[in-house]
Amino acid sequence: MKNPVLVDKITIGTIEFAAYIVEYENNLEAFTIYYQHEKEPLLMFQQIDSGANEVEIKVNQEMVDKLQLLKSKDPQQRKAHYIAFREFALNAEQKAKEIALKDKKLYYLTDVQLIKCLEQAYLVD
């Protein structure tokens, strides 16, 4: 993560999440969400290339699998945690769009099936 700019952070249950705008290869910007100070992001919205106005979304399945190990045992609490995470991610995503990804075509989390794997990480036993 190069030149990270903290967008937002939150603790949900026992898990700390942080959203950043970062520079990565070729000085392109990305919006990322990390948890528990992991080295790899859970989610990354990154510019496809410097000439493109599109942003692609990547979900790190390895981080999703690790997240599953940290979830609450109580199904109701897990549901509340997922709702809090989704709200955090959507709000941070909007801030990132306003700050760094202004002219880019951003596919929002609410429009993407990739978020389903995160929902499963929280809600499935």
The DSSP result for 49-90, as a single string, is: -TT--EEEEEE-HHHHHHHHHHS-S-HHHHHHHHHHHHHHHH
- Report whether 7 contacts 89 (CB < 8 A): no
Residue 23 has pLDDT above 70, yes or no: yes
pTM for the model stands at 0.79
* pLDDT, average across residues 17-42: 86
Q: How confident is the model at residue 17 (pLDDT cuts 50, 70, 90)?
A: very high
pLDDT at 124: 62
Look at residue 110 in the predicted model and tell me its pLDDT: 47
* Weakest-pLDDT range from 6-10, 14-18, 91-95, 103-107: 103-107
Task: Give the angle 101-107-109 at the CA atoms, nearest 5°.
Answer: 105
Residue 104 DSSP code: S
Q: Residue 35 in contact with residue 43, Cβ under 8 Å?
A: no
Q: What is the mean pLDDT of residues 59-77?
A: 87
Domain boundaries, the chain: 2-123
- Mean pLDDT throughout 85-91? 84
If you average pLDDT over every residue of the chain, what do you get?
79
